């Protein structure tokens, strides 16, 4: 399968024997011969797998009674700069029976054996100069070119993938009640907040709210449905609140050990890819380490996105204009949030739309007209 930012864009299996699009924009934007050539490539790779899994079973002295799995993943990560996709890193790796086996070191142009059984393959592949040059060139050039095209082709889908919200009612098994339902659907990514409210108060499970949780639609987007039973005679104001954010920026303060000072912190979180610029400013001037700024650097969250947190100690009596500037070029995002002195503990500023660019596409590596075996 081919993946773009974790979403499947094409697919092939041995039952159907065809490379097929999994996104409408893939089918619309790419000609028929693209899919014909892709089908031939994947069928060729299928034969490569059959040959090499037999080689590995023999090398590891395994019999045919157990199930064995050979996996190959390669692709690239890039960021958009001045309207052009720029290479960040490439990956080309093999796994066998769930363990890492072999990978390509793109920076040094060599193969890396990740297990003793892979040393033989590393030595052979390192000796094929054209294979190393092809692999490095594909990751840094051809893959990045496709990544830029796919991001461009699929941009409208990303822009359109905002929640469509419907609020409706229907009868229940209890004659005196009706079921009030809020449905949010068609959104990406899947993280969403949905609140059903009665006269402005958020209803909870204790009030009878039942949620489906976030579930996939058939088009790679998601939906969530929350419901609550109410009396038809209830004339309260019922509303449905939906919050869908891809990324957040918070500007807040907390006390320090020095009573006269506070710690002003800017937290940017939920962005992808990880390249980001964060500036803390005083009266428009960027503060640096010399001014006492301390940064966490970019760190991973638990959901494949990233965060960065910068802080500086200031006097509580300082009435300067403090702002936090966040620039995320991959998503054309540039926002500057101002700290409200009147609300020192408040979380400030919410921004959305930060999207990462990662492409993983399975293509056959061919040398001299035939695939390179693992022996």
219 and 284 in a single domain? The answer is: no
pLDDT value of position 329: 67
Sorted by sequence, the CB contacts under 8 Å of residue 323 that are 6+ apart come out as 251, 280, 281, 284, 336, 337, 338, 339
What is the tally of structural domains in the chain?
Answer: 3
Among 209, 243, 277, residue at a domain's last position: 243
DSSP 97-153: TTEEEEEEETTTTEEEESSGGGHHHHHHHHT-HHHHHHHHHIIIIIHHHHHHHHHHH
Residue 322 has pLDDT above 80, yes or no: yes
293 and 307 in a single domain? The answer is: yes
pLDDT value of position 356: 36
Strand order across the beta sheet in which 20-21 lies: 20-21, 7-11, 2-4, 358-360, 70-81, 84-96, 99-105, 110-113
* Structural domain range at position 169: 164-243
pTM: 0.53
pLDDT value of position 162: 67
CATH code of 234's domain:
2.60.40.10
Average pLDDT, the chain: 81
Binned at pLDDT 50, 70 and 90, residue 239 comes out as: confident
138 and 35 in a single domain? The answer is: yes
Cα-to-chain-centroid distance, residue 202: 30
pLDDT value of position 20: 94
pLDDT value of position 344: 35
3-state SS class at 215: strand
Q: Which residues pair with 8 in a beta bridge?
A: 3
pLDDT digits (tens, 9 = 90+) for 148-158: 888 888 776 66
Average pLDDT of the segment spanning 172-191:
83
Binned at pLDDT 50, 70 and 90, residue 3 comes out as: confident
Q: Is-contact 304 272, C-beta < 8 A? A: yes
State what percent of residues in the chain have pLDDT above 70.
83
CATH code of 21's domain:
3.30.500.10
pLDDT value of position 369: 30
Residue 257 has pLDDT above 50, yes or no: yes
pLDDT digits (tens, 9 = 90+) for 215-224: 998 777 889 9
Average pLDDT of the segment spanning 170-191:
83
pLDDT digits (tens, 9 = 90+) for 101-125: 999 999 999 999 999 999 999 999 9
53 and 140 in a single domain? The answer is: yes
Average pLDDT of the segment spanning 85-91:
89
**Cα distances (angstroms) measured from residue 226 to each of 98, 213, 237, 238, 261:** 39, 8, 17, 13, 45
Binned at pLDDT 50, 70 and 90, residue 340 comes out as: low
pLDDT value of position 31: 92
pLDDT value of position 18: 94
CB count within 10 Å of CB 319 equals 8
Task: Name the region of 45 (left: φ>0; alpha: ψ -120 to 50; beta: rest).
Answer: alpha
206 and 174 in a single domain? The answer is: yes
356 against 340, higher pLDDT? 340
DSSP 341-372: TT-TT------------EEE-----EETTEEP
- The residue among 111, 108, 105, 139 whose CA lies nearest residue 127 is 111
122 and 93 in a single domain? The answer is: yes
139 and 225 in a single domain? The answer is: no
CB count within 10 Å of CB 13 equals 12
| Cα–Cα distance, 350 to 249 (Å, whole number) | 5
293 and 340 in a single domain? The answer is: yes
pLDDT value of position 248: 62
CB count within 10 Å of CB 242 equals 18
Among 243, 267, 300, residue at a domain's last position: 243
pLDDT value of position 159: 59
Binned at pLDDT 50, 70 and 90, residue 142 comes out as: very high
308 and 259 in a single domain? The answer is: yes
Two structure tokens written together for 37 = 């050539």
Residue 297 has pLDDT above 70, yes or no: yes
Residue 167 has pLDDT above 70, yes or no: yes
pLDDT digits (tens, 9 = 90+) for 29-38: 899 999 999 9
| Burial class (CB within 10 angstroms; exposed 0-12, middle 13-18, buried 19+) of 344 | middle
pLDDT digits (tens, 9 = 90+) for 42-76: 999 999 999 999 999 999 888 878 888 899 999 99
Q: Is-contact 242 335, C-beta < 8 A? A: no
125 and 61 in a single domain? The answer is: yes
Binned at pLDDT 50, 70 and 90, residue 169 comes out as: confident
261 and 349 in a single domain? The answer is: yes
118 and 42 in a single domain? The answer is: yes
State what percent of residues in the chain have pLDDT above 90.
37
pLDDT value of position 306: 81
Residue 355 has pLDDT above 60, yes or no: no
| Cα–Cα distance, 19 to 143 (Å, whole number) | 18
| Cα–Cα distance, 204 to 199 (Å, whole number) | 14
């Amino acid at each position: 399968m081919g993946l773009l930012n974790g979403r499947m864009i094409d697919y092939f299996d041995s039952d159907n024997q065809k490379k097929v699009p999994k996104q409408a924009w893939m089918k619309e934007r790419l000609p028929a011969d693209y899919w014909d050539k892709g089908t031939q490539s994947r069928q060729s790779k299928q034969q490569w797998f059959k040959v090499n899994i037999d080689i590995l079973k023999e090398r590891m002295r395994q019999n045919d009674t157990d199930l064995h799995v050979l996996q190959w993943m390669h692709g690239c990560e890039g960021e958009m700069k001045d309207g052009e996709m720029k290479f960040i890193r490439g990956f080309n790796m093999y796994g066998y029976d769930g363990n890492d086996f072999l990978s390509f070191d793109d920076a040094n142009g060599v193969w890396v054996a990740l297990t003793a059984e892979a040393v033989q393959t590393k030595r052979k592949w390192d000796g094929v100069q054209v294979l190393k040059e092809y692999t490095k060139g594909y990751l840094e050039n051809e893959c990045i070119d496709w990544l830029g095209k796919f991001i461009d082709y699929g941009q409208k889908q990303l822009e359109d993938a905002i929640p469509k919200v419907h609020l409706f009612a229907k009868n229940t098994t209890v004659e005196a009640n009706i079921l009030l339902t809020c449905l949010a659907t068609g959104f990406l990514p899947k993280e969403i907040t949905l609140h059903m409210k009665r006269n402005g108060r958020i209803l909870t499970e204790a009030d009878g709210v039942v949620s489906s949780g976030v579930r996939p639609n058939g088009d790679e987007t998601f939906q969530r449905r929350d419901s609550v039973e109410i009396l038809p005679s209830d004339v309260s104001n019922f509303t449905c609140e939906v919050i869908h954010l891809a990324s957040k920026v918070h500007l807040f303060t907390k006390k320090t050990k020095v009573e006269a000072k506070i710690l002003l912190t800017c937290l940017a979180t939920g962005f992808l890819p990880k390249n980001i610029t964060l500036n803390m400013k005083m009266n428009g001037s960027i503060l640096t380490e010399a001014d006492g700024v301390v940064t966490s650097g970019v760190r991973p969250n638990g959901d494949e996105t990233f965060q960065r947190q910068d802080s500086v100690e200031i006097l509580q009596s300082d009435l300067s204009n403090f702002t936090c500037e966040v620039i995320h070029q991959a998503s054309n995002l540039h926002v500057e949030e101002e700290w409200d002195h009147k609300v020192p503990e408040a979380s400030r500023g919410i921004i959305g739309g930060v999207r990462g660019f990662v492409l993983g596409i399975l293509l056959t590596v061919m040398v001299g007209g035939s695939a390179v075996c693992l022996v």
